[in-house]
Structure 1
Amino acid sequence: MDIYIARQPIFTRGKQIFAYELLFRDGTENSFPGTEGNNATSRVLSNTFFTSGIEQITGGKRAFINFTRELLIGKIPLLFPSQITTVEVLENVIPDGPVIESCRELSGKGYTIALDDFEYTPPMEPLIEISEIIKVDFAKSTREQIRAFADRFTCSGKKLLAEKVETNEEFEEALKLGYSYFQGYFFSKPQLIRRTDIPALKVNILGIMSEVGKEDYRVGTLQKLIEQDVGISYKLLRYLNSPFYRRVQEVSSIRQAIVLLGEKGIKQFLSVIFLAEISQDKPDELLKSSIIRARICEGIGMATGGRIDPSELFTLGLFSHIDAILDNSMEDIMKTLPLTSEIKSTLTGSRTALSTYLDLTRCYQQASWDSALQAASTLGLAPDRLPEIYWKAIQFADSVCMAGT
């Protein structure tokens, strides 16, 4: 059985990461896959979640996990650590006696209970009493319902989570109403009012990137350029000495770092540094999501035989959020970045040979499983390669961000 997993960020009022919701597909629904009486399934679950550790999947943040009625009654949530697990009760779970009893036991053992896609009915009262978080679907609920939930539950000590928040305007509305947590892709949408340009200080990084791209690129020249920027030098050495690389001997010189990374590696590193520098006033998840996209695109390219240069796909994914980072249109931004014409065309919406790679990456990140599998089929990629590519991308992004880049 193939199990696909993606994580979706949940933000605080200050747009910091509070948790990740883990989204699964085992051929049926986005809930934690069943375990009843199937040895093969049990092995997959053990290898995927319990061997790796849920803390690694979420980067040490809290995990929101959907559980069906059968899994709640079967006490499956007890397999997860209570201190970081939020048990989401799916909206189609009937709040009968066994369900209420199981949720009360889980709450008593330290698990946070959240009600998913909340719609009020009188039989929900016992679950409302047990729960700490109530999730309100902004795409399904009317504005009157959204306000009514805020009026009722914020006064009673419940935390409201606004989900499917797709625009900055919806985020601001939920913020004013007293909602505590926010989930959706609003953070990756540009606020076009600001129209921010690339800061002058960051142009130095673009200059170094351009130098790497020259056909007569030389290690000595690049070494001098990097050594002139203390910040880049520090981050480069810290990056190469991070736990992700597990080096026996520490990398201690810029020249050594350049040689170890190679031309493509150093260009990727500088691209990440550039993005990190210009996104300092944005949610950390925006940079992390960009790095994950970059690594997934690259991984797909490698898994499909390198028909497209994987390093070009890395750059494509990395800059796919640049409009949200700079609060400007993609068309305007592409005029100033030293990217290939095909990457620029893809990011501005034209269909190119690169487009399906980005489509697949976006769909997988958003747990749009059917669309992801269709894109994988178009590229000739075996679907069972996707979970590994995604998992490695998360590990890489978390490591890079922890290294301070």
Structure 2
Amino acid sequence: MNVFVARQPIFDKRKKLYAYELLFRTGTTNAFPDIDGTTANTSLLSSTFFTVGIDEIAAGKLAFINFTEELIAKGIPQLFPPEKLMVEILEDVEPGSAVVNACRLLKEKGYSLALDDFVYSRQFDELLHLSDIIKIDFRLTSPEKIKEMVGTLKQFDCQLLAEKIETYEEFEAALALGFEYFQGYFFAKPEVLQNRDLSTSQLTMLQLLSEINSADSEFDVEALEKLVSQDISITYKLLKYINSSHFSRIKTISSVAQAISYLGERGFRMFVSLIATSMLAENKPGELVRASIIRARLLELIAIECRQDSNEMFLLGLFSFIDAMLDQPLATILKKMPLSANINTALSEKSGDLYPFLRLVEAYEQGNWVPFRFALKKIGLNEEKMTDFYLEAIAWADSFE
């Protein structure tokens, strides 16, 4: 049975990464057509903890994983380390005595509990006294109902998590209501799109990215050395990277020219692109940079498998969040960067030869398995490769960081 495991970030009030929720499917359908929820969750747990490794998929962060009523009643969460797991109780779980007693036992053994897609009813009071986090869906629940529930839940010793937060305005509204944690793609969208100019340093980074990735530029080590040496931060990071354990070098490289020559054209362009991109997103949630790096590597791996231009696909992923990084309209930014017509069309018009690849990755990240299935079919990629590529991209991004 093929297993797809994607993850979605959860942030705290400072927009720092707190945890990941792991999303599961056994195939490319958007439901569990041939298996029940218990079998699905068992497969996820087996894949996450025994096959893939929880530290790899969750990058050392807490993992929110859904548990069905049957699995909770049987005490299945106890098979896994409490410090790595948030037991997420699905919204359709009935809070009967068996479930409450099982949850009480989990709490005694050090596990944390979260109630998913919560809508208040008095029958949940016993579970609320045991729960650490209450998740409220901002798409399924009206603002009035959310405000009412927040008032009711103050009597319980639990923290609130706002789900499906898609804009910074929603983030601020949830923050004002007293929510502690936030889940959604607000971090990947521009915060302000008007009356904000690019800073001098951002313009410098865009210029560097343009020159490094220009199709017309030659791999001139001397010229590139002069360009990189203008920025002390990039010079430091380049020398630190080239002398890291990743390369297992005996002799230290002490000059920018040596580092450029050692990395080669492709390695150097990739390195500088990653560094410059991270500097553009300096004041943004770290997950924004991590997500762009994962996308870049994932698209590169897919390109190699599908015999596409891997350099072009890498840049497509890397720049897919550029408007959120700079809080500028995408069209304005793209005018300043000499990217290929294929990348421009995919990013700005959501069409063209490369867009199905970007749509495939977006759908996978969000656990939207129906559009993922269509994109997979259009591209002709073997579905068994996708999770392997995704996990490799995560590991690569973590090693780079």
After TM superposition, the score normalised by the length of structure 1 is 0.90
Residue 259 of structure 1 and its aligned partner are, at CA, apart by 2.9
Matches of 1:194 and 1:230, distance apart in 2: 31
Q: Quick one: structure 1 residues 197 and 311, their matched pair in 2 at CA, closer, same or farther if it must change by over 3 Å?
A: farther
**Identity score, percent:** 43
Amino acid at match of 2:73: I
Could you tell me how far 1:319 is from its partner in structure 2? 0.8
Given that 1:136 and 1:161 are in contact with CA atoms closer than 8 Å, whether structure 2 keeps it comes out as yes
With over 3 angstroms needed to count, the CA separation of the structure-2 counterparts of 1:350 and 1:163, relative to structure 1, is closer
1:282 equivalent to 2:284? Answer: yes
Residue 2 of structure 2 aligns to a residue whose secondary structure is: coil
Paired letter, 2:295: R
- Aligned partner of 1:160 in structure 2 is 160
- CA 1:174 to 1:205, structure 2 compared with 1: closer, same or farther past 3 Å? closer
CA offset at residue 10 of structure 1? 0.6
Secondary structure in structure 2 of the residue aligned to 1:162: strand
Structure 1 pair 350/122, CA: closer, same or farther in 2 (3 Å)? Answer: closer
Are 2:9 and 2:17, in contact at CA under 8 Å, matched by a contact in 1? yes
Instruction: Give the structure 2 partner of residue 356 of structure 1.
Output: 356
Measure the CA separation in 2 of the matches of 1:372 and 1:242. Answer: 37
SS for the counterpart of 1:348 is: helix
- Aligned twin of 1:393: 393
> Whole-Å Cα distance in 2 between the matches of residues 328 and 319 of structure 1?
13
Distance across 1 between alignment mates of 2:384 and 2:334: 35
List structure 1 runs of 4+ shifted beyond 6 angstroms: none
Which deviates more, 282-291 or 49-58? 49-58
Cross-structure match for 2:366: 366
Structure 2: which amino acid aligns with 1:90? Answer: L
Does the CA contact (< 8 Å) of 2:161 and 2:183 recur in 1? yes
Let me know the Cα RMSD of the aligned residues: 2.3
The DSSP-based 3-state class of the residue aligned with 1:135 is strand
SS in 1 for 2:392: helix
- The amino acid across from 1:335 in the alignment is K
Residues 211-259 of structure 1 deviation map (CA, whole Å, 9 limit, x = unaligned): 444443222322333234321121123334456x362546524334323
Task: State the distance in 2 between where 1:216 and 1:193 align.
Answer: 35
Give the total of aligned pairs: 392
Match of 2:253 in 1: 252
**Kept after mapping to 1: 8 A contact 2:8/2:23:** yes
Task: In structure 2, give the amino acid aligned to 1:301.
Answer: A
Residue range with higher mean Cα deviation, 203-212 or 221-230: 203-212
Would the aligned equivalents of 1:6 and 1:22 in 2 still touch at CA under 8 Å?
Answer: yes
**How big is the shift at 1:337?**
1.6
Q: How does 1:42-191 map to 2 (within 5 A)?
A: 46=46, 48-50=48-50, 52-191=52-191
Letter in 1 for 2:161: L
Q: 2:222 is matched with which residue: 185, 196, 220?
A: 220
Deviations 1:332-381 (A, max 9, x none): 11111231222122111241111001000101111112211221111110
The residue aligned with 2:264 is: 262
Single out whichever of 285-294 and 255-264 deviates more from structure 2: 255-264
The CA deviation at 1:92 is 1.1
Give the CA deviation at 1:51. 5.0
Structure 2, gaps ≥5 residues long: none
Q: AA paired with 1:176?
A: A
